A and B are shown apart, each in its own frame.
Chain A
Amino acid sequence: MPDSYLAVRLEALRRAQASGGGWGYFPGKQAWLEPTAYAAMALLGEPAADKAWALLQSWQMSDGSWKPSADVQLANWGTSLCVTLAIARGEWGDPLRKGVAWLLGSAGVESNWINRAAARVGLLNAGRDLSLKGWPWKEGTSSWVEPTSHALVALKKVTASKSAVGGSSLSERIQSGEAQLLDVRCSDGGWNYGSRAVLDDDLRSYPETTGIALLGLQGVKAAGKSIDLALKMVQGSVSPMARAWLTVALRLHGVQSPALTGPETPDVLITALEALAAPEGNYRLMQTESAT
């Protein structure tokens, strides 16, 4: 019987995989891209992960994006996760190239020329620098911390591979995305879901979003001042999801993080994130070139 923190979670993931190769957010539910991608990262190298990748490939749409589940016909932020997973698997074929091209063409609509012009002449105060481009959850909407951070991980891993995928706009989008994350950092040093203030009132940062933002800011010196806050958050948060993301981020920033403890959960996404965050887990699959 497996009994280590990681082994227990990997076994739970193996048990929860649906016959089609995917994972639902909870056992027995419809398969979704997000838990499937993280579970496939956690189980990388196992047949279960291969089966998951086969399913995910079938969810790539003709424009290069990935849809979030078999039945939801919308281009989705989870494209970033599939690009990261493809790189982890060494899959450098068309799915990856098309996925990267789609990511490079995707941006939050707040940074379009009309808004930039309006901001320049003082007609619009969005409370952020509209010259910076991040990524939205869904096409046609604004950019937010989490999808921006995951896109940064994916594109930085493409850059680190020194492959020809992506072309010249890669570094420009990475720099702009990093700058946007720093631009929306809250006054307490962490990240809310996307803004630092509403109507001039500072917003509090969230532990889970702070962890995810730090993931996208690997190798960025200015992220350093958020590390102490992340350490406090990982010890104080009641959210196992937040603790897992913070632990992954701290490890990737080269910071010792307290070992995760706690009971198993039926929540597949959290189980996969906890498996990734374990000391011997696959968190390094999200490591980018600049990480320590």
Chain B
Amino acid sequence: MKSDRREFLAVAGASVVAGYAGWRGGTDERPAPKAALGRSSVAVVKAASYSVDLVSRMLEGIKECGLDVRGKKVLLKPNLVEFDPATCINTEVSVVAAAYETFRTLGAAEVRIGEGPGHRRDTYALAEMARYRTEIPKFDSLFVDLNRDDVSPIQRFADRKEIYLPNTALGADLIVSLAKMKTHHWAGATLSMKNYFGLVPGSVYGWPKNELHHIGIPRSIVELSRVFRRSFAIVDGVVGMEGNGPIQGTPKPVGVLVMGSDLPAVDSTCCRIMGIDPARVEYLSMAADVLGVTDESRIDQRGEAIRSVRSDFNLIKEFRQIRLA
């Protein structure tokens, strides 16, 4: 993916225009050593629209993945970025509401919802525009603005000595990445792992969280997934976004929820559904065999077969080379 221009700048040590022109910045150092991981289960469940019974579908998928949340403190992390009524940027409110009900039903001791949008300062207003505040009962008492939560330092994050992260996320027994199935103009695809950018507090790093761009977007995605290993993913692919995602793309109905405890396995499955080769998505190739499995032969596919739900997403020209053969 690196152009000559990017190579020139890398040599010059100038990772400086991230967020403006797509320069990824940071070092290209990859996590090591690679560990031999076993197999992972990923459930693909059909949901033709947001008006179907999403709770029963989530229960079905979670059962297939063998997740036990009894007695645990669960944090639901939707993808709430900004609002545009003309498209579908955020995790749909009915998916968030269904996940809340699902984890309560499964016996979680506590279920909260938390997000730290990367662009907008007024998180509650954004939640209102996305109908979270009106359609999720008692939303304000369940919700934590992770951009403005109390924070604690975590030692070692990529090439940084430390990173400050929100206490609500650090204190959760399980974080559920309620991601949206979208293309991404810098990363190729944004799914359950990239969704964790919203765990980084704006109060320390700003809006956008430009520090992550300068570390390098793929590296930051992997590092956040490393820090938050106690995770489960539910990707909202009922209606995804194709083209110039994650903000300016167009709706792409797919009709699936994709679930699993191994985030790289979930995201690589989503990529295959989207017609994207996960081996060509840099952060997934970095995470492979380090944080999870991405090789299709090592993923136990539950529910629908990928080929039965595959629906190729339009890709911007900068990412056409990641198309799955």
A109 to B211, CA, bound (A): 12
Q: Please, which residues of chain B bring their CB within 8 A of the CB of A193? A: 119, 207-208
Instruction: Tell yes or no: B50 within 8 A of A by CB.
Output: no
Q: CB-CB contacts of B223-266 with A at 8 A, as 1s and 0s?
A: 00000000000000000000010011000000000000000000
Q: Please, which residues of chain A bring their CB within 8 A of the CB of B153? A: 71-72
Instruction: Tell yes or no: A1 within 8 A of B by CB.
Output: no
A115 to B203, CA, bound (A): 28
Instruction: Tell yes or no: B67 within 8 A of A by CB.
Output: no
Instruction: Tell yes or no: A154 within 8 A of B by CB.
Output: no
Q: Which of B21, B120, B149 has the most CB of A within 10 A?
A: B21
Q: Please, which residues of chain A bring their CB within 8 A of the CB of B37? A: none
Which of A24, A25, A29, A138 sits near B204, CB closer than 8 Å? A138
CB distance from A138 to the nearest CB of B (A): 6
B96-104, B107-115, B121-129, B272-280 - the one binding chain A: B121-129
User: Given that A112-B16, A146-B207 are contacting pairs, would A267 and B124 also be in contact in the complex, using a CB cutoff of 8 Å?
Assistant: yes
Q: Please, which residues of chain B bring their CB within 8 A of the CB of A72? A: 151, 153, 164, 204
Q: Which of B5, B121, B122, B185 has the most CB of A within 10 A?
A: B122
A25–B22 touching, CB < 8 Å: no
B19–A195 touching, CB < 8 Å: yes
CB distance from B281 to the nearest CB of A (A): 18
Instruction: Tell yes or no: A38 within 8 A of B by CB.
Output: no
Instruction: Tell yes or no: A147 within 8 A of B by CB.
Output: yes
Q: Please, which residues of chain B bring their CB within 8 A of the CB of A26? A: 148
User: Given that A26-B148, A142-B18, A201-B244 are contacting pairs, would A114 and B204 also be in contact in the complex, using a CB cutoff of 8 Å?
Assistant: no
A58-66, A163-171, A237-245 - the one binding chain B: A237-245
A198–B207 touching, CB < 8 Å: no
Instruction: Tell yes or no: B31 within 8 A of A by CB.
Output: no
A115–B214 touching, CB < 8 Å: no
Instruction: Tell yes or no: A127 within 8 A of B by CB.
Output: yes
User: Given that A25-B203, A112-B14, A141-B211 are contacting pairs, would A239 and B244 also be in contact in the complex, using a CB cutoff of 8 Å?
Assistant: no
User: Given that A25-B145, A198-B248, A199-B22 are contacting pairs, would A118 and B207 also be in contact in the complex, using a CB cutoff of 8 Å?
Assistant: no
A118–B119 touching, CB < 8 Å: no
User: Given that A72-B204, A138-B205, A144-B210 are contacting pairs, would A241 and B121 also be in contact in the complex, using a CB cutoff of 8 Å?
Assistant: yes
Q: Please, which residues of chain A bring their CB within 8 A of the CB of B20? A: 110, 126-128, 142, 194-195
A118–B248 touching, CB < 8 Å: no
B214–A140 touching, CB < 8 Å: yes
CB distance from A8 to the nearest CB of B (A): 19
B214–A141 touching, CB < 8 Å: yes
A71 to B121, CA, bound (A): 22
Q: Which B residue sits closest to A137, measured CB to CB? A: B206
Instruction: Tell yes or no: A30 within 8 A of B by CB.
Output: yes
Which of B14, B22, B128, B206 sits near A114, CB closer than 8 Å? B14
Which of B21, B122, B150, B211 sits near A30, CB closer than 8 Å? B150
Instruction: Tell yes or no: B318 within 8 A of A by CB.
Output: yes
Instruction: Tell yes or no: B36 within 8 A of A by CB.
Output: no
In residues 151-209 of chain B, which contact A (Cβ within 8 Å)?
151-153, 164, 185, 203-208
CB distance from B156 to the nearest CB of A (A): 15
Q: Please, which residues of chain B bring their CB within 8 A of the CB of A199? A: 22, 185, 244, 316, 318
Q: Please, which residues of chain B bring their CB within 8 A of the CB of A32? A: 148, 203
Which of A24, A29, A138 sits near B206, CB closer than 8 Å? A138
Instruction: Tell yes or no: B9 within 8 A of A by CB.
Output: yes
CB distance from A27 to the nearest CB of B (A): 12
A142 to B20, CA, bound (A): 9
Instruction: Tell yes or no: A259 within 8 A of B by CB.
Output: no
- Some 20 contacts from A to B, beta carbons below 8 A apart, are A25-B145, A109-B14, A114-B12, A114-B14, A123-B4, A137-B207, A142-B19, A144-B208, A146-B207, A192-B119, A193-B207, A204-B84, A206-B119, A237-B125, A239-B122, A239-B125, A240-B122, A241-B121, A267-B124, A269-B148
Given contact pairs A69-B203, A114-B9, A146-B207, enumerate 8 new A-B contacts (beta carbons under 8 Å).
A24-B150, A115-B9, A118-B9, A118-B12, A124-B21, A142-B19, A193-B207, A206-B119
A-binding residues in B (CB < 8 A) = 4-5, 8-9, 12-14, 16-22, 82, 84, 119-122, 124-126, 128-129, 145, 148-153, 164, 185, 203-208, 210-211, 213-214, 244, 247-248, 316, 318
B-binding residues in A (CB < 8 A) = 24-26, 29-30, 32, 34, 68-69, 71-72, 74, 76-77, 108-110, 112, 114-115, 118, 123-128, 130, 136-138, 140-142, 144, 146-147, 192-195, 198-199, 201, 203-204, 206, 208-209, 237-242, 267, 269-270
